Chain A
Amino acid sequence: MNTLETIKQHAAQEFEVKNEEVDVDAPFEQIGIDSLGLVEFIFELEDKFGIRLDASKAEGLKTLRDLANHIDELITQKATCAESS
């Protein structure tokens, strides 16, 4: 399963909505994730994917798709670091 799909499923589970009802391109507020909820949601995804988001970067993320893309970048960076070390 790709990152976006994993996040979508996690959001559906945590916010008690059907998977197909999660709009990955809608602003977080629109799908029921407020600022506090987002901080907690990111915290859970960090553990799920084994990465850490920079708080200043997270501020610029507006949708689940933005979040998935950023997490993919971090996963790639982590893999690159692991290979070079």
Chain B
Amino acid sequence: MRRVVITGAGIVSPIGQDLAGFGEAVIAGRSGLRLLAAMPDVGLEPLVVGAVDFDTARHFSRPQAKQLDRVAQFSLVAAREAVTHAGLELTESERDRAGIYWGTGLGGAGTLEEGYIQLYREKTGRIRPLSVVMGMNNAAAAQISLEMGLRGPSQTISNACASSAMAIGEGLRAIRRGDAEVVIAGGAEALLTPSVMRGWQMMGTLARTDSTDPARSCKPFAADRSGLVLAEGAVALVLEDEERARRRGAPILAELAGYGSSSDAVHLSRPDAAGQIRAMRAALADARLTPTEIGYVNAHGTATEVGDAIETQALHGVFGDSVPPVSSTKAVHGHLMGAAGAVEFLAGILALHLEVLPPTAHLDHLDPACDLDYIAAGARAARGLGAILSNSFAFGGSNAVLVARRYA
């Protein structure tokens, strides 16, 4: 079977708009979350978010930017960095075997919302003609394909919080099958629009604002956790057939070793340990690794009461009494929804590459129902770390798990 390696990465996130910045912040456990003021005219109460201070003009000309929803802008910036990082140059014939596998939950949410504002609030009926091609879920993948000349397979996966993990997993399978030799894989989300944020507020799953410091509001596995923090951003990885990467002397961050997915078929929003266990076991089997070979788990760890406890149970189910160190980096970057799986897998890849485990920040009071080693006291050296596992569990009961292995 072909092996697949990761040769480049790029990121736009609330804690860094390039790989170096993200790596430094995630290891330092430095939060990028902040309080967003209320919007009384639409009923939005104040909430903590992981917003990106994005300078569109730095990356795009005015005509370009006008054709790109925020989600596509994030996507292109992340993909550009990943390709540069990988030193990827494709010949004309190679472009036919270069694909794009992208995940997003809500695609061009901002574009759609602007259309609704014109239709229902302003009552102009004047919706921008480009709304269709900017708002569609595959717009970001299409823009990456266009800019980079990727003419191989293209897939956009929208499976809520598991979207980008699944996109990376499906990209892995595409290379193994021989459908592509190179794949840009990852995902993006830009859903901090009033209607989306208000919907989440009404659902009652968002974190309360920490009274001392809003940046500390997301507290995975803590007794005083109160929910998740919505965030935005994008991550792109360059996946390559190992032989191709070696032939061209590419820098290899890690091997993308395994992918597993499952459905709970239990409840629309409540997670299920059995489904999570099936996905983790499938990913380990795919990677041909035993649980004892995993040295770090980047948890889904959304900081909801139910979610963190069930994931802890599921980890026991897979690893027994020997669960490796686990952290949820959502404490600092928030929940990037469709891009979450890619961001957190990237944190795991960096752990492998730098041999240091990122911490779970803001975990001062551990919940007794969460009885694992969550790396609460800050980043930890991990010399010789051999393999990592990253969990993504979505509303709808879709689970996706990725495994990466040190490349040797």
Contact = CB atoms under 8 A, between A and B. Distances in A.
Interface of A: 13-16, 32, 36-37, 39-40, 43, 47
Contacts of A16: 61-63
B177 interface: no
B126 interface: yes
Contacts of A40: 66-67, 128-130
Contacts of A13: 62
Nearest to B64: A16
Contacts of B61: 16
Contact of A32 (B63, B67, B126, B130): B63
Interface string B66-104: 110000000000000000000000000000000000000
Contact of A15 (B63, B126, B129, B130): B63
Max chain A Cβ within 10 angstroms of own Cβ: one of B62, B129, B133: B129
Contact of B63 (A37, A39, A43): A37
Contacts of B62: 13-16
Contacts of A36: 67, 129-130, 133
Contacts of B128: 40, 43
8 contacts: A14-B66, A16-B62, A39-B129, A39-B130, A40-B67, A40-B129, A43-B128, A43-B129
Interface residues of B, number: 10
A47 B126 contact: yes
A33 to B, nearest CB: 9
Contacts of A39: 129-130
Contacts of B66: 14, 40
A41 B67 CA distance: 12
A13 B66 CA distance: 12
B129 A14 contact: no
Interface string B90-131: 000000000000000000000000000000000000101110
A8 to B, nearest CB: 16
Nearest to A46: B126
A49 to B, nearest CB: 14
Contacts of A37: 63, 67
Given A36-B129, A39-B129, 7 more contacts: A13-B62, A14-B62, A37-B63, A37-B67, A40-B66, A40-B67, A43-B128
Nearest to B63: A15
Contacts of A14: 62-63, 66
A47 B62 CA distance: 19
Interface in B45-76: 61-63, 66-67
A47 B130 CA distance: 16
Contacts of B67: 36-37, 40
A80 to B, nearest CB: 24
Contacts of A32: 63
A72 B168 CA distance: 53
